[in-house]
Amino acid sequence: MKKLLLLVLVAYGCALNSCTDQNGELVSFAQNREIASLNSMRSTRAVDSTSVDSILPIEETEESARLRETLRQHSIQSVSALASYGEDDEYFSSNIYAIREMPLNISVRSVATGSNASYKYLSCSEAGKEVVLSSQNTAQSSKFFLKILPATSGIPYLIYSKNSNTPLNVGYYTNKPDDKILMSAKDNSGSLYSASWDLLASPSYKGYFAIQSESYIGQADPNNSWSIFYYVLEAKANNKLGYARRVNGKGQQEFFIQPIDKFDIDYIEFDKSSAQISKLTPLEVVSYGKNETEERRSFSIKASHYATDTYQFSETGRLKFLWNDSPTFYRPYVLANKLVVPSPVNPDDEPNPGEFLRDMKYSNSKGRVSRVLTVETEGIAKPNSLIEVTSYLEGYSVSANYVAEMKVKVNNEERKVKVKGTWYGTMYTTKRAKPDIVKCFDLDDGEELSLRKKSHPVIISKTILK
């Protein structure tokens, strides 16, 4: 009986051990499958993260810091470049500050080969994305604005996208770190290191600027510290934007910065000390009268003639502005070989316009003013004669520097800008360039007669204009 009980216990123990081993194998198999599944998921996620290119702003490195310090030591930072165009536009700094945070269009002067010619406007679709070129200039994606920080920040300008409301940075795709792009920051919490820009005026095209990165620095010759440079924005093929070393006058590196809002022209101030006056070919006016009496008679002939004066405002400032329909302004004129200029006030506030004509609008294209000039000639006519009078009227070509003040409302705040330039005008007067030529012709045979001394007035029945 004891032997039977012992055999049962041994058999039960063996069965229990066998079950435990099988359960252990099942647990181990399940664990192995879960680990394999996790590894597979991690592998899949890793593939997914690299299949979509990440976009990041550049960061300062030891190399870029070294190059920047070398540039500082050579004193060729962009701050000194500002002087090159600040000297010929003393209103640039105040004007660009006046347009801060106003909506702008930014367009390249010349697209690159391989791009659509109409795709010249910077366009930002959303925050954290690449900025490219587009044909649209009215869409929200094509609107930008400048922010100007205190000088102590060391950042000349920040350029913001109106669409994303974040600054534009020098960036790159993680799978192409050497190909830098223009991007909008994903938010406003990051560093501004890659968002610092400067504007370098085109030497030939007013309103155009090279957009220079203050953080992306290169060196043409590693053995020459004077070959260090800041990269500027450049239009590339396929309507893309990239960077290159600046080349003066290169169309793909020059961008037109245009405030979208229109200004109202308040007044124009002319600088009479800068006036240049030269004489035009006199305007020839021929008029006629007649003496049908048999006596010598004095005559007085009045005649009218059309004349066309012209004017044009040629801006020389670095920034270009749009303006609403111009009011009419008083036009300068010449007297005693001097340029007489109107007061530098709004024409509606001029209490005594005097002899000034209010017939001129502010325009960069040539304006024309038609006038009627009336001339009068007196003399002595021979009896029974046709009187022919040729008058030569003085004309002038004039140029003078000017400053036009314009203003606009921005969030109930009045912003003012001053636009400088040169005004060009031509004008005719009733002043004689030389004495009138008076001839008398016999009414019967048409022969020219000599003039006689003054007698009694003659009544002219008809005036003929030529």
Asked whether residue 83 is assigned to any structural domain, the reply reads yes
pLDDT in the model for residue 460: 40
Asked whether residue 4 is assigned to any structural domain, the reply reads no
Beta-strand pair 456-457/297-315: parallel
pLDDT in the model for residue 88: 77
CATH of the domain at 320: 2.170.15.10
Show Cβ contacts of residue 289 under 8 Å, excluding neighbours closer than 6 positions.
299, 301, 381, 386, 387, 389, 458, 460, 462, 463
Range of the domain at 235: 55-259
Tell me, yes or no, whether 115 and 173 share the same domain.
yes
Tell me, yes or no, whether 151 and 252 share the same domain.
yes
Asked whether residue 49 is assigned to any structural domain, the reply reads no
Asked whether residue 3 is assigned to any structural domain, the reply reads no
Tell me, yes or no, whether 219 and 358 share the same domain.
no
Token representation of residue 30: 């399940």
Tell me, yes or no, whether 235 and 302 share the same domain.
no
Residue ending a domain, among 259, 274, 291, is 259
Tell me, yes or no, whether 298 and 285 share the same domain.
yes
Tell me, yes or no, whether 132 and 151 share the same domain.
yes
Reduce the DSSP state of residue 273 to 3 states and report it: strand
* Sign of the CA dihedral running 84, 88, 93, 99: negative
For each of the chain's 466 residues, which pLDDT tens digit applies? 434 444 444 444 444 444 444 444 433 433 444 334 433 433 333 333 334 579 999 999 999 999 988 888 875 444 444 444 455 789 999 999 999 999 999 999 999 999 999 999 999 999 999 999 999 999 999 999 999 999 999 999 999 999 999 999 999 999 999 999 999 999 999 899 999 999 999 999 999 999 999 999 999 999 998 999 999 999 999 999 999 999 999 999 999 999 999 999 999 999 999 999 999 999 999 999 999 999 999 999 999 999 999 999 999 999 999 999 999 999 999 999 999 999 999 999 988 888 999 999 999 999 999 999 999 999 999 999 999 999 999 999 999 999 999 999 999 999 999 999 999 999 999 999 999 999 999 999 999 987 444 444 444 444 443 3
What's the total number of domains in the chain? 2
Tell me, yes or no, whether 323 and 246 share the same domain.
no
Asked whether residue 296 is assigned to any structural domain, the reply reads yes
Tell me, yes or no, whether 123 and 225 share the same domain.
yes
Asked whether residue 11 is assigned to any structural domain, the reply reads no
How far CA 381 is from CA of 227, 291, 463, in Å, comes to 85, 7, 15
Tell me, yes or no, whether 183 and 304 share the same domain.
no
CATH of the domain at 228: 2.80.10.50
Tell me, yes or no, whether 314 and 403 share the same domain.
yes
Beta bridge partners of 181: 171
Instruction: State how far the Cα of 325 lies from the Cα of 322, in Å rounded to an integer.
Output: 10
Asked whether residue 41 is assigned to any structural domain, the reply reads no
Asked whether residue 377 is assigned to any structural domain, the reply reads yes
Tell me, yes or no, whether 298 and 282 share the same domain.
yes
Residue ending a domain, among 227, 259, 291, is 259
Instruction: State how far the Cα of 426 lies from the Cα of 366, in Å rounded to an integer.
Output: 11
Beta-strand pair 197-201/208-219: antiparallel
Instruction: State how far the Cα of 401 lies from the Cα of 385, in Å rounded to an integer.
Output: 52
Radius of gyration of the chain (CA): 41
Tell me, yes or no, whether 384 and 418 share the same domain.
yes
Residue ending a domain, among 219, 241, 259, is 259
